[in-house]
């Protein structure tokens, strides 16, 4: 009976665990962030073309946005596009830090 109850509890927790994590984007740049995409990094620090999540709505200067990722934590490359089409590439480890601050 206890084993069946434990299996039931684990089945309830599994969808939440499979959803990945949430990252907070803080825009401290002087212009809007127009998009953000995150990619995993391999052992050598090279990015793997597997988009883990992102946003495509503008994030105004001085505001924040939440970004849901389809993976667990780990080293990632954040590719940030600003409104003037300039691109920023930032490495981060989402196991240590779940906040990405964009500055120009």
Which pLDDT tens digit goes with each residue over 15-56? Answer: 444 468 999 999 999 999 999 999 999 999 898 999 999 999
CATH number of the domain at 93, please.
2.60.40.2890
DSSP state of 59: B
Global pTM reads 0.78
> Residue 51: helix, strand or coil by DSSP?
coil
**Phi, psi at 80, each rounded to 5°:** -110, 130
Q: Is residue 97 part of a domain?
A: yes
Q: Is residue 10 part of a domain?
A: no
Residue 102: CB atoms within 10 Å: 19
pLDDT at 69 (0 to 100): 93
pLDDT at 18 (0 to 100): 46
pLDDT at 8 (0 to 100): 39
Q: Is residue 54 part of a domain?
A: yes
Q: Is residue 29 part of a domain?
A: yes
Q: Is residue 81 part of a domain?
A: yes
Question: For all residues of the chain together, what is the average pLDDT?
Answer: 85
How many domains does the structure of the chain reveal?
Answer: 1
Residues spanned by the domain of 50: 19-102
Q: Is residue 1 part of a domain?
A: no
């Amino acid at each position: 009976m206890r084993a069946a109850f434990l299996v039931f509890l684990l089945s309830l927790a599994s969808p939440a665990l499979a959803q990945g994590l949430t990252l907070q984007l803080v825009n401290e740049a002087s212009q809007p962030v127009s998009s953000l995409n995150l990619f995993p990094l391999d052992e050598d620090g090279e990015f793997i073309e597997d988009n883990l999540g992102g946003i495509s709505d503008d994030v105004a200067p001085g505001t924040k946005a939440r970004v849901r990722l389809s993976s667990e934590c780990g080293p990632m490359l954040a590719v940030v596009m600003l409104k003037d089409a300039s691109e920023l590439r930032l490495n981060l480890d989402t196991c240590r830090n779940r906040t990405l601050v964009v500055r120009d």
